[in-house]
Amino acid sequence: MSTSGINSPRPSPPPPAPTYSPEADRAYRRAWWSLALYPVSFVAAFVIGEGLASVLGGDSGSLVWWEALLAAAPAILVFVLPGVLAVHFGRRAVRLGRADGRTPAIIGAVIGLGFVALNLASGVLMLLFG
């Protein structure tokens, strides 16, 4: 019989999880929950953008540039709101000592800025090539 494992030292237990202030934890959770609002804001932005486009004179493909801008601006603002909230609460969590609050802040900013960049590129291409 082998007795090689009988006298071997036990592995040390993992270090305890860091504790944060309740305010830091709350801000961190709110940053993540803000990201969960993106599907709702996407639908709301679509309804607002298409609704304003139809009120201004037709479908979104036949609008002049200022009508398209007037329809797109509120829709974009509605869509980026969860990202703004995630950045706000994520930065608050970092300021209160929870460094991992950067993660939801970065994710929210990337999604929001990506959506804005995509809409700007689409608008510029539509103006250039009709």
* Residues listed for the chain: 130
Question: Does some domain include residue 38?
Answer: yes
Containing structural domain, residue 60: 30-129
Question: Does some domain include residue 1?
Answer: no
Count of beta carbons in the 10 Å neighbourhood of residue 62: 10
Question: Does some domain include residue 11?
Answer: no
User: Are the CB atoms for 49 and 60 separated by under 8 Å?
Assistant: yes
To the question of pTM greater than 0.75 for the whole model, the response is yes
The answer, yes or no, to whether residue 125 has pLDDT greater than 90, is: no
Question: Does some domain include residue 47?
Answer: yes
Q: How many whole angstroms from its chain centre is CA 57? A: 32
Question: Does some domain include residue 7?
Answer: no
Question: What's the total number of domains in the chain?
Answer: 1
Question: Does some domain include residue 2?
Answer: no
User: Are the CB atoms for 51 and 59 separated by under 8 Å?
Assistant: no
What is the per-residue pLDDT across 39-69, written as a single tens digit (0 to 9) for each?
Answer: 999 999 999 988 988 888 766 566 777 888 8
Distance CA 30, CA 23 (A): 10
